Chain A
Amino acid sequence: MRSLFLALALIAAGIVTGLAPAWAVLPDEILDDPVLEVRARELSQEIRCLVCQNQDIDSSNADLARDLRILVRERLVAGDSDDDVKAFLVARYGDFVLFNPPVKPTTYLLWFGPALIVLFGAGAVVAYFTRRRRRHIEPTPLSAAERQRLERLLSDSETAEPGPR
């Protein structure tokens, strides 16, 4: 029982640690102005660390991430808007430095593609079902020989034993 309890405690500790947000901001980077610091943190989470490429600069320990964090804070202190800071970085590193690709002609397919495919699929489904309903087939009348065969089959089945329900 004790080992079970220990195991559960370890798992719980692991989950709690995993839920804690990772951040790499060092004390000497933190701005004095709390409003600007919050803006810096939020901005940083939208900026890709180009060394690791799957992390934002807020959580990456890479040297470049730290340099970019400091740069972002410097520009905020100098009075840049969020868009100005992003434009500054995009001018040097390209759109890839932002985690949210901008909506422009080269990314229209990326942004609207899935919606277009869903629309296309839905359209195909609708077309299929409406076409089926519209196709009304007139049954061809039975010939005399076929009518006789049908009656014979029906009377045969009445005398046959009922099948399993």
Chain B
Amino acid sequence: MNWKYILPVALFAGIATALAVGLTLEPGKIPSVMLDKPTPEFDLPPVMGRERGLASDELKGEVRLVNFFASWCVACRAEHPLLNRLTEDGLVPVYGINYKDRPEDARAWLDRLGDPYVRSGADIPGRVGIDWGVYGLPETFIIDRNGRIRYRRAGQIDQQTLDQTIRPLIRELSQ
């Protein structure tokens, strides 16, 4: 075992492993720092055409989904049927936060595509979004019974994420 020959190989193996792992990482996907923290406090007015808005102290007591959406967001449009199905199936109550949208546009969008939200709030200036660490739409959060954020999905939910990540987590949190 000659150290002279082993050391460069070991060094190379170490660097190669680090780089290979790096190739699988996605630095663009920023992990949420809000996980396991209580939801930020907020009190939002209703989306146009609805009577009640949404406030943070209503997000305790059961497992819920909070979905940030807007009428101008194409990916939200793509994920909307999935949310409609979720509400029909009754898997988990879905709450919505309308982010930086025009009131009339939001109402028309929900009227046209269906309203899956138990209740939704209008965050027109976008400050509530910043408090939640939202940096793009759509973003979906799973809130547990104690009002803590347990999961954040940046980007639209697809069937695979729903089946492999979201459903199991909701089952686990509901026990």
Contact = CB atoms under 8 A, between A and B. Distances in A.
A93 B126 contact: no
B136 interface: yes
A92 B130 contact: yes
Contacts of A53: 28
Contacts of A94: 30-33, 133
A96 interface: yes
A51 B30 contact: no
B131 interface: yes
Main secondary structure of the interface of B (DSSP, over half): loop
Interface string A111-147: 0000000000000000000000000000000000000
Contacts of A67: 125-127, 130
Nearest to B126: A67
Contacts, number: 36
Instruction: State which size class the interface on A falls in.
Output: 10 to 19
Main secondary structure of the interface of A (DSSP, over half): helix
Interface string B90-113: 000000000010000000000000
Given A51-B136, A67-B130, A90-B33, 16 more contacts: A50-B136, A63-B126, A64-B136, A67-B126, A67-B127, A68-B130, A71-B127, A71-B130, A92-B33, A92-B130, A93-B30, A93-B133, A93-B135, A94-B30, A94-B33, A96-B30
14 contacts: A50-B30, A50-B136, A51-B135, A53-B28, A63-B100, A64-B126, A67-B125, A67-B130, A71-B127, A92-B33, A92-B132, A92-B133, A93-B133, A96-B30
